[in-house]
Amino acid sequence: MQMETFHWKKSQKLAEDYIQQSAEASPLFPYYFGNQEDWQSRVKWLDEGHSARKADRGRLVEVLKAYNERIGNTGAALDQITALASQEALAVVGGQQAGLFGGSLLVLYKAITIIQLAREWSSKLNRPVVPVFWIAGEDHDFDEVNHMYVLSSTQQIDKMKVDHPTGHRTSVSKLPLEPEAWKDALAALDQSLMDTEFKASLMAKLESTTEGSATLSDAFARWMAVLFGEYGLVLIDSDEPALRAIETEMFEQLVLQNEAFAASLMKSQDEVQQAGYSSQAEIAEDGANLFVYAGGHRLLLHREGEYFTDKKKEYRFTKEQLHDLAVTSPEQLSNNVMSRPLMQEFLFPVLASVLGAGEIAYWALTKQGFEQFGMKMPIVVPRLEFTLIEGTVQKQMHKYDFTFEDVLHRFEQKKQDWLDAQDTMRLGERFDKVKTDFETSYGPLVESLAVINPGIKKLGDTNLTKILEQIEFLQNKASDAYKTQFDATLRQLERIRLTIIPLAKPQERVYNGCVYMNRYGNDWLRALVETPIPVDGLHRVYYL
């Protein structure tokens, strides 16, 4: 297992500073993931029962068992659920939206981080620490999750997608897809992937996850169980009706203390901004931080006087009506990004929460919110990050003297430097000299024409510009023709770029894992799960 470690600075400054334990970011979080004493402190806080609100553990276990049995999860995962029934059990939790065929690679890396941390701390504490993957099926942004990208055998970035079945703005978990939609998506993926010894098995497994899977969330859960069930990863959809039934108490409090909750978020936002950071999420003073299902849509609520209403003011609830809904029909309510961390804390004995950089930034806004409900934000842990580099790409990088940092920060310059080094005709230098010599000799002549007639001088200036443009035109054409000698090299360099920064983004945020499973099977994925890897906020290049 060949791997290199790099510091790839996070685009989200607050997350970067938290990982680096800066003086500005540290006070925004009660614990630091790199401090062993903080882990012990969190365990002590949970063991002493300081949290003011907790879901019924027995009911939670029953819901988890039923859901994981339904999606075909493994005996190892069911054993972890059984272990969760113990009052000494803890959990490492992380989640993601339900992407098509598993979404991008980062989803796999988040699951791997959860599994690794749970295994590590279960061993250190000598007690059950359960890995839990929370599927954000309640989210309604279908266009964020209905597609995936693969690098095809022809070195094209192919996008596969499934269309929205209804057009309604409602939770992904409530949008059943037709069997034909699944069939078309599988056919598109099959066509894009090259033929390998692993392809038939991969496609068969993917197809099995879509059979009887009415929604993206269902298929996603089944696929994650296929990939990680043997390692005991417990899965749950946040929009599971049976789960909603045991969230009633927390929904009640989110309604009854709604103004105070919003005020606590505003206070945290002030702290974040005073520390020098911009707010990752939009905090509205009148925001209810809850959604309601009404008229087939998922609607964000705001407070307006004594009422809760949607943006278009088509629906209106009193606090009493919304409270009654929480008690009698909790499945009609759902969380936003600010209230979801609290609901997670209500449900599980959360030792640590595994987050991406953007999530770390908006969790900083919830510190006071946790405290408002007698809770405490768990340890925030950055997920593991990887870039997968195949052997052929690694060889090409060595051949053309490209480092990983070169590709990230100066790819075009390095490519041009290489081309310039091959230019034995010195085309650029010679054309530049011709243009300089021409301007030197022709420019003064044009200037002298002004004494004859200003119009002639103007015509001369235009003529000079056009001649220079024609020289540059020929230079560009000659350069393009010269580069055709290096078409093979340029294709290889382009493959390097498409591998590491496709669509000008980190690989893990673009490509789906199926392309690598198709080429190499699952051994590389197993190695990432089974090999202890320090969770340190650094980026790792994994050479396949």
- DSSP letter string over 162-190? ---SS-----GGG-PPPHHHHHHHHHHHH
Q: Between 517 and 177, whose confidence is greater?
A: 517
Instruction: Give the rounded percent of residues in the chain with a pLDDT score beyond 90.
Output: 81
Q: Between 330 and 449, whose confidence is greater?
A: 330
Residue with tokens 């443009």: 469
Is 313 within the bounds of a domain? no
| Confidence bin at 252 (pLDDT 50/70/90) | very high
| Confidence bin at 485 (pLDDT 50/70/90) | confident
- Looking at residue 161, its amino acid is K
Tokens linked to 156:
């094209």
Question: How far, CA to CA in Å, does 414 sit from each of 198, 397, 420?
Answer: 36, 11, 10
Which pLDDT score, from 0 to 100, does residue 145 have? 84
Q: Is 351 exposed, middle or buried (0-12, 13-18, 19+ CB in 10 A)?
A: buried
| Confidence bin at 207 (pLDDT 50/70/90) | very high
Check whether 423 has a pLDDT greater than 80.
no
Domains: count for the chain: 1
Alpha carbon distance 412, 72 (integer Å): 47
Q: Where are the beta strands (DSSP E) in 383-489?
A: 385-389
Alpha carbon distance 510, 503 (integer Å): 8
Is 469 within the bounds of a domain? yes
Check whether 435 has a pLDDT greater than 70.
yes
The CA radius of gyration of the chain, in Å to the nearest whole number, is 29
Q: Name the nearest CA neighbour of 206 among 535, 534, 512.
A: 512
Tokens linked to 57:
């553990």
Is 192 within the bounds of a domain? no
Question: How far, CA to CA in Å, does 217 sit from each of 97, 223, 263?
Answer: 8, 10, 33
Q: Name the nearest CA neighbour of 17 among 39, 38, 32, 37.
A: 32
Between 94-108, 167-181, 372-386, the lowest mean confidence (pLDDT) is in 167-181
Check whether 421 has a pLDDT greater than 90.
no
The arithmetic mean of pLDDT across residues 319-348, rounded, is 96
- Looking at residue 284, its amino acid is A
Contact 263, 373 (CB under 8 A): no
| Confidence bin at 213 (pLDDT 50/70/90) | low
Is 404 within the bounds of a domain? yes
Is 491 within the bounds of a domain? yes
Which pLDDT score, from 0 to 100, does residue 167 have? 67
Which pLDDT score, from 0 to 100, does residue 93 have? 99
Range of the domain at 501: 400-507
Is 343 within the bounds of a domain? no
What number of H helices and E strands is found in the chain?
A: 24, 15
- Looking at residue 282, its amino acid is E
Alpha carbon distance 163, 173 (integer Å): 15
The arithmetic mean of pLDDT across residues 8-13, rounded, is 93
Between 31-40, 47-56, 346-355, 398-407, the lowest mean confidence (pLDDT) is in 47-56
Task: Show the DSSP H helices in 135-257 as ranges.
Answer: 142-145, 179-192, 199-210, 216-228, 241-245, 248-256
Q: Name the nearest CA neighbour of 17 among 405, 280, 282.
A: 280
Is 519 within the bounds of a domain? no
Tokens linked to 442:
């022709």
User: CA 199 from chain center: how many Å?
Assistant: 26
| Confidence bin at 88 (pLDDT 50/70/90) | very high
- 62's enclosing H/E stretch is helix 57-70
User: From the CB of residue 420, how many other CB atoms can be counted at a distance below 10 Å?
Assistant: 12
Is 438 within the bounds of a domain? yes
The torsion angle over the Cα atoms of residues 276, 281, 287 and 291, rounded to 10 degrees, is: -160
Contact 411, 498 (CB under 8 A): no
Q: Which residues pair with 134 in a beta bridge?
A: 95, 236
Strands 350-355 and 379-382: parallel
For 371, which DSSP code? H
